[in-house]
Structure 1
């Protein structure tokens, strides 16, 4: 893996990458590199175990928590959102189900429509971000967006759908969304470095998210103060690898449930990917990814090989991930 490490170092240097790159082959960590600064103002360097926000990578955790409730019988994939929403969010079609929301086939209007945002660093939330600290707090953000198409008739990536899922999970379980993820996903997978951290009181082992490759401006005014159903959890490259291992072993959800989660529910996108329930899929790869102001993330996995890129800048992962993937796919020693 010497040539791989050299290549990754070169990409990091040429792009100003800030974050962590890790490659696991079987049970062996063959590459783990940290670059840049976790805290620019104080000059604190990034470390392999620095906790980094992974934006929409958090949707995978939401999906797993929901499927745990399905396994326990508190929810089913056919549960209608309306049965738990009651009079809340009246513009959501009465036919929208948990499966529609998980697979981005609900057709509900999205509070954060990525097709209409040219630059993620320009987007500001419609309400003060300090008020968004629980699943229920998103109700005022989600309300007022009309249904885009009948549920089940198309695929459109929808952030709001996962915020709705967090609300449904709370109401079905009687447990807060954050605690549900902690008990049903993090503890079961043995993830000790993953959690929902407040952006206004980050601990010293967490990376601040930066809007640009240089400068001191962080993302604290752009994102909810605490991550929600559609993203924002903090984790490490090591915990990401541990999550994939736990999924393969059936320690979070059963192997049968996981197999169903990685069954395609959408038509192929322009880049060849399809979508299951909380996971992107392409060929024999399963992946989780995220992009937001001051955060970018991609982790791809197939049995025996995992690679992850976590960055505390908006575009950092997208400079590192393509060449890394090309190197790994063509490297027989990494298979």
Structure 2
């Protein structure tokens, strides 16, 4: 047992972590280990092949799907949302472009505002969650939110923006967004276990998400849309996440030049020690070790995957509880950055 595994085990034991931890280097897995239960009621253990929801980690796949349409010539970064949406969502400013939406600089109102002060256990959706199964059905929650600022003015993390991107992609491509992501991202990346699943009919080898309520084992099935869209809700495994990074940087999803464009910083957030490109979080300083990150946090979900292209190093923590991933993710960041 390595010192890193000892340290991960200690944190997992101390925090009651449920999930999977993985470290890959040069395409070879150095460490992968599962902890806790995928289903508490039936005492089903997590395994390294268990599928977990990754919440906003989905945004990276959405961004790549949209950019693949741009590379094909179906869209442009300068395409306005209005030119595709028509009369739908009239409160979206006519100047909002695909690039604004990808960079969280659109200023549109957010149906799921993470800065609104809600507790992770709150019920925040204004309509029954089962009514959100297709991207078009999200129009019911996207509408009616006034703009917060002019397009391009500043960064403001925005879930609505990524559902609008899914709508745009779906309408110009002609197939459902779920099929579009599978065809344009998952299949070329070899992500065979990654899919937008319904939370009310999860298949085998899939973790149920649990809320951080002391003394209870309440699931997240009433808290989130029954099937995700552009802003979150896809399910994946640590193996597929590793395949995703290798495929992305290998030019298998979009060209290397477009990957570089997506990773060009559009915003800097000193308070978070990060910058943001198009769909991906970046280090605060370009002088630091190169790194690209996807992260997700929601009711019954926590996920972080960091990829360092130059070192060909990936470390991923995925959990079926809201607070689960963070202590181990911080440990991996500290330990592996030093190597």
1:107-138 Cα distance to aligned partner (Å, 9 max, x none): 00101111113422213311111010111111
Could you tell me how far 1:307 is from its partner in structure 2?
Answer: 0.3
Aligned twin of 1:114:
114
Match of 1:291 among 289, 297, 300: 297
Could you tell me how far 1:327 is from its partner in structure 2?
Answer: 1.2
Aligned twin of 1:318:
326
Could you tell me how far 1:329 is from its partner in structure 2?
Answer: 1.2
Does the residue aligned with 2:267 lie in a helix, a strand or coil? Answer: coil
- Kindly indicate whether the alpha-carbon contact (under 8 Å) linking 2:19 and 2:320 is maintained by their aligned counterparts in 1: yes
- Kindly indicate whether the alpha-carbon contact (under 8 Å) linking 1:117 and 1:123 is maintained by their aligned counterparts in 2: no
Could you tell me how far 1:269 is from its partner in structure 2?
Answer: 3.6
Aligned twin of 2:141:
141
- Kindly indicate whether the alpha-carbon contact (under 8 Å) linking 1:121 and 1:292 is maintained by their aligned counterparts in 2: no
Does the residue aligned with 1:314 lie in a helix, a strand or coil? Answer: coil
Could you tell me how far 1:25 is from its partner in structure 2?
Answer: 1.1
Does the residue aligned with 2:38 lie in a helix, a strand or coil? Answer: strand
User: What is the RMSD computed on CA atoms of the aligned residues?
Assistant: 1.1
Does the residue aligned with 2:200 lie in a helix, a strand or coil? Answer: coil
Could you tell me how far 1:191 is from its partner in structure 2?
Answer: 0.5
Name stretches of at least 5 consecutive residues in structure 1 with no aligned partner: none
Q: Distance in 1 between matches of 2:115 and 2:27?
A: 39
1:282-312 Cα distance to aligned partner (Å, 9 max, x none): 1411000000000010000012100000000
- Kindly indicate whether the alpha-carbon contact (under 8 Å) linking 1:211 and 1:218 is maintained by their aligned counterparts in 2: yes
What TM-score does the superposition give when structure 1 sets the normalisation length? 0.97
Aligned twin of 1:159:
159
Could you tell me how far 1:100 is from its partner in structure 2?
Answer: 0.1
What TM-score does the superposition give when structure 2 sets the normalisation length? 0.96
Asked if 1:7 corresponds to 2:15, the answer is no
Aligned twin of 1:221:
222
1:206-254 Cα distance to aligned partner (Å, 9 max, x none): 0000002763210000001111110010000000000000011100110
Q: Distance in 1 between matches of 2:130 and 2:118?
A: 24
Does the residue aligned with 2:160 lie in a helix, a strand or coil? Answer: helix
Could you tell me how far 1:65 is from its partner in structure 2?
Answer: 0.5
Could you tell me how far 1:71 is from its partner in structure 2?
Answer: 0.7
Q: Distance in 1 between matches of 2:198 and 2:27?
A: 33
Q: Distance in 1 between matches of 2:31 and 2:306?
A: 15
Aligned twin of 2:83:
83
